[in-house]
A and B are shown apart, each in its own frame.
Chain A
Amino acid sequence: MCPEETRFSARCLVRLTVNGQSHELEVEPRVTLLDLLRERLQLTGAKKGCNRGECGACTVLLDGRRVNACLVLAASAEGCAVTTVEGLAQDGRLHPVQQAFIEHDAFQCGFCTSGQIMSALACITEGHTGSNAEIREWMSGNLCRCAAYPQIAEAVAAAARDMSASEAA
């Protein structure tokens, strides 16, 4: 067993891209991706609702895949590209998923919304929007205590249509 001092002072260097911007950070190995985003980079869109992967409020994209940022050690994201909710709108124009959440009134307090939106984006790119039941199943890792669930499912379906229409165009 190593002495306390060594255990807690270990550092590792993490290079990663967040919303297209490169970062090089020295972190302790125990730091999660969520705490790195929130406490080091002040990207507080991803929320800490449980810190155990139960609620999905911290959902971000890691190399295009949705993950619970609270379950990812920052050190393991070395060389990865992270997308958070702050990285979706381009030049002040909301992403179709963000727009659909507003149009369909798919949130109330907004605390789970960042995670819902990132999960929705992944749900759409994964192709899990074939039916309402499929959307609901694949959006069930994201809890919403205000329970805007039917509106979230509507928003995901609408954004999927919107995104496939703009892809076809």
Chain B
Amino acid sequence: MKTSGDPITRLDGPAKTTGAARYAGDQALPGQLHAVLVPSTIPAGRVTGIDARAALATPGVVRVLTASDMTRVHPDLDKITCPPLATRFLPMQGDQVLYEGQPVAIVLAERLEPAEAAAAAIRVCYQRDAFTPPETAPAEPPDPAKGDYSKSSAVTFQKGDAAAAIAAAPVRLAARYTQPSRHANPMEPSAILAAWEGDRLTVYDAVQHLPAVQGALAAVFGLGADKVRVVSPHTGGGFGAKAFIWPHEILTAMAARVVGRPVKLALSRQHMHAMVGPQPQMTHDLELGARPDGRLAGLTHATANITSVTDDYVEFGAIPSRAFYACDNITTDHRVRRGHVTLPTFMRSPWDGPGSWALGSAMDELARRLGVDPLDLRLANHADTDPESGQPWSSKKLREAYEEGARRFGWRERPRGGTRDGHWRIGCGMADCSQGQARFHSTARVRLAAEGAAVVESSFCDIGTGPATVFAQVAAEALGLDPRQVTVRSGDTDLPYSGPTYGSGTTLSTGAAVQRAAERVRGRLAALAGWAPEETTMREGRITRANESRTIQEVLGAAGLPELSSDGAFDLPGGAPVDMGEAGAPARTFGAIFVEVGVDPELGLLRLRRAVGAYSAGRILNPRTARSQMIGGIIWGWGMAAMEASHYEPKLGRWLSKDLAGVAIPVNADIPPEIEVAFVEEFDARSGPLGAKGIGELGATGVAAAVANAVYDAIGIRVRDLPITPDKLLAA
């Protein structure tokens, strides 16, 4: 029986369509208090006084906590790296204010309404300091002492002599591409319910990695990790915003300890914008030099992204320039602009998302200059090996993806740019999609009961990517069961350790651990039957060798066992918690996105008409859930291309809009049904035993460039500053 690879419907469908699935904010405990945070109204300075009298007089209000009420963090927290701690700066440990919206007080009330009313009644006095708007601050090299983000990849990279190669190249291009800050805006704002029993802490939290929250909270209080339990069965979308541990999580656990009652905090959309970071605003400076045949002679890519004054978050947006195309002379550099702003963070798709926008636009400009088809320019520069390391890829079928995507889109027969359809001008564009592949150490347990039902247990979290379905398929395949006979228990740190749900690494990593655990169970069942495991097969509740066959029940019954349980692990070389592929075989996913847009040049309107994405992403374990994820990624990319921006107001030192009215994101009417997704047949044996890679981030790469390229195709206007809004099309 083959069950992984089948397009089965989601096993959590009934729970999610009936309202039964419980998210962090849906949890309630007896005696709980509702917390509302009071955000600072200034971007820089000190809190000099807090008048909470009116708040405390509000019936239902129990406490107003200020910095002096909070416990100090335990020195153990210094040992937690940043990330997974989102930021080293914890508000309410002193009087310092370093960004607008930073929590300065916490109201605790018996009910939500008095907590909200009282928070609005609190008067905070400040001493204002001058603040630095980040976008106009000088671009400086990251400081390795300001957090560990800058250590996640190479800040600078040099191969050959890019400057000389570009200077000598017959065809040259130099351009700056910019993009605004964008908040992830998962539909579920972050929420947490924290409860202490003695020195044991339980939190129900909206997260993308439970064990990281467990470790960080344990460190905050100087406890062993076994004293902290994190429960998170469902997370209402993450996209990076819930990947790391943000201050509100720590403050809520502290508040619960101070008052000795469970405390529940659900951030408002406004507080979410202020207290959880976005993808940063950034600039890309690119220079390309090409030979007449289109092959790249030299490439430089320098980025600068905004960050807070507390930590250096580095958005490694130049990575695509050392990974996408074959080139002997490459220089990349990353800088930061520090200002008084919420610390930015990873967001779908980190690094390659921003980088593919800039590089994908520049390659289109180069193709125009050379007079070659943009797809042919890509083919001429296909990177057979990793340009950065020179090593062979773990697997890559990009040529097949180009061919499949071009065929489905009709790229070679596309309408001529500027073709009219009523008042719309039609344009087509394409760009490369690619994402570095993270792998995470993970473990899982599989239990097989006599009646032939299996249970998968692992502490991974469901953020919507379908792991509860796919891992049931993986276990079912190994044990010859129907996936519906497999129950998946997840979202609880009492279960075996799982790696995170980010970095496109869950399926590859936790899935491999599930597979190993299930195969081990099968091996033990075979041994109980007295057979060599490799000679057996399992199907429909039976284990079979040659023409002998026994039911699971018979084998376990004869052995006097109610169930068989085995653990499995996906271990990385050297016991690492994370890597970017096997040594000597860098792992990446690849693909191409083709879009057709309509532009109304008189009104500056831009509409998506159709899109085709074709991908080389390893083995696809469930084509139905994978298709949905890729479509979601393409639409995410459309939001980046045409709609989304969180603007920092430089006079006020705050986000201009903190809601879903002032920050537009795609709605159903924006998205046509003609979005097609294809995967090429591939099995990446070097990245993991499942042959799979990750797809969560791949779909959102390249899209913004493809759209900008299509806009140019339609009306001859090159927009180098996202998002492509009507004002930019009309001003050009």
Contacts and interface: CB of A to CB of B under 8 A. Distances in A.
Interface of A: 4-5, 8-9, 28, 30-31, 35, 38-39, 42-52, 54-55, 57, 84-86, 88-89, 94, 98, 101-103, 105, 107-114, 117, 132-133, 135-137, 139-154
B186 A109 contact: yes
12 contacts: A8-B117, A44-B26, A50-B189, A52-B269, A102-B13, A103-B9, A105-B628, A108-B465, A109-B235, A110-B12, A136-B668, A145-B185
Interface stretch (B54-62, B87-95, B471-479, B578-586): B54-62
Interface in B439-496: 462-466
Given A31-B113, A45-B18, 9 more contacts: A39-B28, A44-B25, A51-B269, A105-B628, A109-B464, A135-B668, A147-B631, A147-B632, A148-B632
Contacts of B20: 45, 86
A102 B14 contact: yes
B268 interface: yes
A46 B673 contact: no
A107 B350 CA distance: 23
Contacts of B169: none
The binding surface of chain A is classed by DSSP as: loop
Contact of B111 (A39, A135, A143): A39
A109 B269 contact: no
B18 A153 contact: no
B675 interface: yes
B22 interface: yes
B568 interface: no
Contact of A105 (B10, B25, B238, B462): B10
Contacts of B57: 4
Contacts of B668: 135-137, 139-140, 142, 144, 149, 152-153
Contacts, number: 192
Interface of B: 9-10, 12-23, 25-26, 28, 54, 57-60, 111-114, 117, 184-189, 234-239, 266, 268-269, 462-466, 624-625, 627-629, 631-632, 635-636, 659-661, 665-673, 675
Contacts of B185: 145
Contacts of B14: 94, 98, 102
B248 to A, nearest CB: 16
Given A105-B624, A109-B234, A94 B186 contact: no
Nearest to A154: B673
Contact of B17 (A35, A94, A153): A94
Q: Which of A46, A109, A136 has the most CB of B within 10 A?
A: A109
A140 to B, nearest CB: 4
A98 B58 CA distance: 43
A65 B667 CA distance: 21
B631 A151 contact: yes
A76 to B, nearest CB: 16
A86 B463 CA distance: 21
Given A103-B9, A136-B669, A151-B628, A46 B17 contact: no
A110 B268 contact: no
Q: Which of B113, B235, B463 has the most CB of A within 10 A?
A: B113
B10 A146 contact: no
B671 A111 contact: no
A55 to B, nearest CB: 6
Contacts of A84: 19
A59 to B, nearest CB: 12
Q: Which of B111, B187, B238, B624 has the most CB of A within 10 A?
A: B187
Contacts of B114: 8
A50 B660 contact: yes
A156 to B, nearest CB: 9
A146 B184 CA distance: 11
